[in-house]
Structure 1
Amino acid sequence: MNSEFLAALRDLEKERSISVEVLLEAIEAALLSAYRRNFGTSHNARVQVDRHTGDCKVYARRTVVQEVEDPQDQISLEEARAINPGYQLEDTVESEITPRNFGRIAAQTAKQVVVQRIREAERNMVFEEFASREGDIVTGVVQRIEQRNVYIELGKTEAVLPPAEQIPRENYRPGQRLKTYIVEVKKTTKGPLILVSRTHPGLLKRLFEIEVPELHQGLVELKAVAREAGIRSKIAVYSNDEGIDPVGACVGPKGARVQAIVQELNGEKIDVVKWSPDSSKFVSSSLSPAKVIAVEVWEDEKIARVIVPDYQLSLAIGKEGQNARLAAKLTGWKIDIKSESQMAEIYREYLEQQGYEQV
């Protein structure tokens, strides 16, 4: 190693933000291991890289003692004072023992250490960049598919879309551009592991924030999301500004905004409903597109009974109970849906139990 090598390290410090001192300390530690491995010595040694010239030297370290038991690690007080009269017991005496061909080993080792540290620094930079973006959307290109895991290129690194986070029946192909939601970023020995999702409710929320300026500006607030990925979703939105229709803002002119998101999610149906601080109103709107006649609420138990016209019952419940299930997820309430006929029958039975006769 020489002064040119030190200059290269300083350039590296500017480009990659890797401290020269940290690099030199790592090189010294690696050189000490290389020295012991190549020369099989039991010396208590130290390697030093000159910070000005880049020269590498090896020093044997021995402790000053009254009576020497191990010549490799100890030196008598008399011998130490022959070198320097100022030495005292328990002091450490260093003497240079640099092997003749150590320069070649030093250059090779230093190169390996620098390359390794550059890789580590790049991994740390990637980790820090994406760790700060957990809960955000990223756009990448599908690289390959292995054992049902989809690997997506994100510039200098790649993300993994595992099977559990993939939309059912959604097909992926190499070269395809894909928006995903960063669920978690982990540190591993092979670099950062970025786990992404296509099913997370957060993906839907972020897509609306990108597509709807009023959400980004804070004029409209997205209060809740309920999602069955690839099939149907519901979002609840609200605005403090009476002049802004939150549902209309999210749907967009002729449905353009919501349709852009539907297209991104390959046809997933999306219901946009108005959130309300009034529980009965919110529960009612959550069952959209079904029309609701009345809502009874039990606030403490968070249970709501919803009455709908007979012809709206199947719409309110939805295919395999999907609409009712999503409404319950959206509101956080247990929702019992009854038709007018069912409620009339319940009322009739109640009157009979109470001993009233039908007129």
Structure 2
Amino acid sequence: MSKELMDALELLEKEKNISKDSLFDAIENSLITACKNNFGKTDNIRVEIDRDNCDFKCYADKEVVETADDVMDPMLEISLDDAKKISKKAKVGDMVSVSLNSKEFGRIATQNAKNVILQKIREEERGAIYNEYFEKEHDIVTGVVQRFIGKNISINLGRADAILNENEQVKTEVYRPTQRLRVYVLEVKNGSKGPRILVSRTHPDLVKKLFEQEVAEIQDGTVEIKSIAREAGSRTKIAVYSNNPNVDAVGACVGVNGNRVNLIVDELSGEKIDVINWDENPGNLIQNALSPAKIVAVFADPEEKSAKVVVPDYQLSLAIGKEGQNARLAARLTGYKIDIKSETQAKDAPGFRIEDYMDDEDDEEYEGYEEYDTEASEDAADEGSEE
């Protein structure tokens, strides 16, 4: 029986990720519970388990009294004559350990002990699953679409099920049972019925984590993802920066013939992804963020976190994007409120005249603003107007 018990414990440890020590503790507690149900008390009862071979014994510590007539409670006291059968050195007032025969436990006591063990196993299994997925919080995992619960979807992650709420689903995606999905783990809560895992397909960090998995330069820290803005199912803009001047950040993320970014686009069901270079200069960053539109000039105010952008007349709709999407994503990516005007509009707007941004002391510099001019040389753009 001891070998069978050990085999069972090792199997539970392997399959359920429950430590044998926890299971031994559960067995000890179950035996103490069985003693209480069988004898009515457990204050003086001890259980010892050999954790190498699973042999166990139950003892009751009893006080030695003079004669059998002096024994008031057989579970707490033992006569001197009986005590000497256990230990010849026993004397009145000593405590002796009396072995209890667990085979004498009644059916109800045995059933209760079994329930204690099963309850402990369930608790440890829930704890192990919670710990496993809690470590994956704010990361991506692969799951299988299992069933629809109203407008929500149950995603099987292997050892646990996750919930993909309606507001975390991409409206343009169609989910089918048995479909494999990569999802972003939003939150893991430990509930009475096990861990409750909430996942998302719309979170911007889903795209970020996919790039981290696909791009080796991001994994080793050569390339950093500085900012990301996403409208799930439609378009994502991501700003990247290279810590190595010999490594092109955008090229590393796009890959040869676009193979890296295309893998991510396929995972996101065709969502468009714009990868741009991060720049500490707000003017340059905003110009990059509004790609693919051509920019004439950018006036960025770092203190107000706002920018005014001038584009050629024929580029206005491209810069703004369909329903304002390009400008909206650029604003989220850069953290600037962006006001875009065509050259014609800028000429007619007094507040957009370049003279309004000039310092009275030095007409060649812009006070509080940075300008990016696409018609200037690359060097001039880098040296640009300074605060």
Shared fold per TM-score greater than 0.5: yes
RMSD between aligned residues: 3.7
Please, what TM-score do these two structures have when normalized by structure 2? Answer: 0.74
1:68 — aligned with what?
Answer: none
How far is 1:165 from its partner?
Answer: 1.2
Number of aligned residues: 340
Aligned to 1:201: 204
Structure 1 stretch 137-146 or stretch 114-123: which is displaced more?
114-123
Aligned-residue offset at 1:292: 0.8
* Match runs of 1:1-359 below 5 Å: 3-4=2-3, 7-8=6-7, 11=10, 15=14, 18=18, 20=20, 22-37=22-37, 41=40, 46=45, 48-49=47-48, 51=50, 54=55, 57=58, 59=60, 85=91, 87=93, 101-102=104-105, 104=107, 108-347=111-350
Structure 1 CA distance, aligned partners of 2:119 and 2:28? 14
TM-score (norm 1): 0.79
Between stretches 104-113 and 267-276, larger displacement belongs to 104-113
- Show structure 2 runs of 5+ residues with no match: 66-71, 84-89, 355-387
**Structure-2 change in CA distance of 1:274 and 1:99 (3 Å):** closer
Contact preservation (8 Å) 2:18, 2:125: no
Letter matched to residue 30 of structure 2: A
In the other structure, the counterpart of 2:375 is none
Measured at CA, do residues 100 and 199 of structure 1 come closer, stay the same or move farther in structure 2, by a change above 3 Å?
Answer: closer
* Structure 2 counterpart of 1:130, one-letter code: Y
Equivalent-residue separation in structure 2 for 1:236 and 1:349 (angstroms): 28
Alignment match, 1:357: none
Residues 78-87 or 145-154, more deviating: 78-87
Quick one: which amino acid aligns to residue 138 of structure 1?
A: V
Q: CA deviation at 1:344?
A: 0.5
The separation in 2 between residues aligned to 1:131 and 1:99, in whole angstroms, is: 40
User: Is the contact made by 2:10 and 2:20 (CA closer than 8 Å) also made in structure 1?
Assistant: no
CA displacement 1:296-332 (0-9 Å, x = unmatched) = 1212111111111111112212222221111111011
Displacement of 1:205: 0.9
Q: Which moved more, 1:118-127 or 1:175-184?
A: 118-127
User: Do the aligned residues in 1 keep the contact of 2:30 with 2:114 (CA within 8 Å)?
Assistant: no
Q: Is the 8 A contact 1:9 1:20 kept in 2?
A: no
CA contact (8 A) 2:240 2:276 kept: yes
Which deviates more from structure 2 when the two are superposed, residues 122-131 or residues 319-328?
A: 122-131
Cα distance in 2, alignment partners of residues 123 and 330 from structure 1? 40
The CA distance in 1 between the partners of 2:351 and 2:56, in whole Å, is 100
Cα distance change on mapping 1:73 and 1:188 into 2, 3 Å: farther
Deviates more, 1:276-285 or 1:188-197: 188-197
Shift of 1:3: 3.6
Q: Distance in 2 between matches of 1:238 and 1:349?
A: 31
Query: In the alignment, residue 140 of structure 1 is paired with which amino acid?
Result: G
Q: Distance in 2 between matches of 1:218 and 1:100?
A: 63
Distance 1:23 1:250, change over 3 A: closer
1:302, 1:333 within 8 Å by CA — same for their partners in 2?
A: yes
Quote the Cα distance in structure 1 between the aligned partners of 2:11 and 2:325: 58
Q: Identity over the aligned pairs, expressed in percent? A: 47
Counterpart code for 2:161? E
Shift of 1:87: 2.4
Given residue 175 of structure 1, which amino acid in structure 2 is its aligned partner?
A: T
Cα distance, 1:146 vs structure 2 = 1.0
Q: CA offset at residue 101 of structure 1? A: 3.7
Corresponding residue of 1:354: none
C-alpha spacing 1:211/1:57, structure 2 compared with 1 (3 Å): closer
Q: Which moved more, 1:248-257 or 1:8-17?
A: 8-17
Counterparts of 2:64 and 2:91, CA distance in 1 = 15
Q: CA deviation at 1:145?
A: 1.3
CA distance, structure 1, for counterparts of residue 334 and residue 277 of structure 2: 11
**CA offset at residue 139 of structure 1?**
1.4
Change over 3 Å in CA distance of 1:166–1:73 after alignment to 2: farther
Q: Is the 8 A contact 1:5 1:54 kept in 2?
A: no
Q: 1:166 & 1:249 partners in 2: Cα distance?
A: 29
| Partner SS state of residue 238, structure 1 | strand
Match of 1:260, SS state, is helix
Q: Which structure 1 segments of 5+ residues have no match?
A: 65-70, 352-359
Report the AA paired with residue 134 of structure 1: E
| CA–CA separation in structure 2 for the residues paired with 1:211 and 1:165 | 23
- Tell whether the 8 Å contact from 2:64 to 2:79 is kept in structure 1 after alignment: no
Please give the alpha-carbon distance, in whole angstroms, between the structure 2 residues aligned to 1:42 and 1:3: 27
Q: Distance in 2 between matches of 1:159 and 1:263?
A: 23
Secondary structure (helix, strand or coil) at the match of 2:244 reads: coil
Instruction: Please list the CA deviations of residues 130-160 of structure 1 after superposition, one character each: whole Å capped at 9, or x if unmatched.
Output: 2222222211211111122212222222222
> Structure 2: how far apart are the matches of 1:334 and 1:170?
31
